[in-house]
Homo-oligomer: A and B are copies of this chain.
Amino acid sequence: MIRYCLIFSYRGNEFYGYQIQKKERTVQEEMEKVLSKIFNEKMKISSSGRTDRGVHALGQVATFDASKEMDNEKLRFALNSLLPKDIHIESVRKCDATFHARFSAKAKTYVYIIKKGEENPFLTSYVFFLHKELNLDKIKEGSTLFLGEHDFRNFCTNKEEQSYMETLYEIRIHQKGDYYFFVLTGTGFKRYMVRMLIGTLLAYERDEISLDYIREKLKKKEKDPTCFKVPAEGLYLKEVYYEGEMEK
């Protein structure tokens, strides 16, 4: 068997998330359908992790095993010809059979984009619109509390997890014209975690909560997740980092 590794982007708004479901359109299903057609056998792919409904990806990573060897660039071309227009394969390579898109991942970067001003019908799936100026200094101040290793159980949904520990390496926040970019890099992000972290920072920015609210939520061992969450539209999985062969 040959293990192939794909890096791909998708526009999330017409998918019910990445992971396959019985009835709804998903990224995984579209990809497995096309791979099965190309390789003429039933194919399964394994990604770095799911993304939720409406969330976009610029550099999602997934692997699959096939018995047939195909030229990387030819396979990429075939995939892009057959896939729907809201998925695009950026690169195809072969990788070691020990490489696992999810378990080998060392870190991930997500980007969240907020646009100041009125809604624009051409950007409505791509950014979160806010009608006011943001105090970035205040947001940056709040964001430092999240850096480092924490139990993020109160900044994700209720689903039972073995561990809620993650390390946030960096939260970079900057403005370009009317756009605010939040760039978060960490070992991993639980469900809704990026959206809840940013939602909490925005609540702090508008004085709805204090820094102590964040400190307590991070300390608390009982499940009591924050109610703040920004919408999915502005969220992009930007990059997944690996060591060794897949290192960038």
Chain A positions near chain B (C-beta within 8 angstroms): 9-11, 56, 80, 85-88, 118-122, 124, 126
Contact = CB atoms under 8 A, between A and B. Distances in A.
14 contacts: A9-B120, A9-B121, A9-B122, A56-B122, A80-B118, A80-B119, A85-B119, A85-B121, A85-B124, A86-B121, A88-B118, A88-B119, A88-B120, A122-B126
A235 B115 CA distance: 24
Contacts of A80: 118-119
Nearest to A57: B121
B11 A86 contact: no
**In this complex, which of A80, A119, A121, A122 has the most chain B Cβ atoms within 10 angstroms of its Cβ?**
A121
Contacts of A85: 119, 121, 124
Contacts of A87: 121
Given A10-B121, A80-B118, A88-B121, 14 more contacts: A9-B120, A9-B121, A9-B122, A11-B122, A11-B124, A56-B122, A80-B119, A85-B119, A85-B121, A85-B124, A86-B121, A88-B118, A88-B120, A122-B126
Contacts of A10: 121
Nearest to A87: B121
A163 B9 CA distance: 47
A86 B118 CA distance: 13
Given A80-B119, A119-B80, A86 B124 contact: yes
Nearest to A8: B121
A172 to B, nearest CB: 21
A131 to B, nearest CB: 11
A11 B126 CA distance: 13
A85 B11 CA distance: 17
A13 to B, nearest CB: 10
Contacts of A11: 121-122, 124
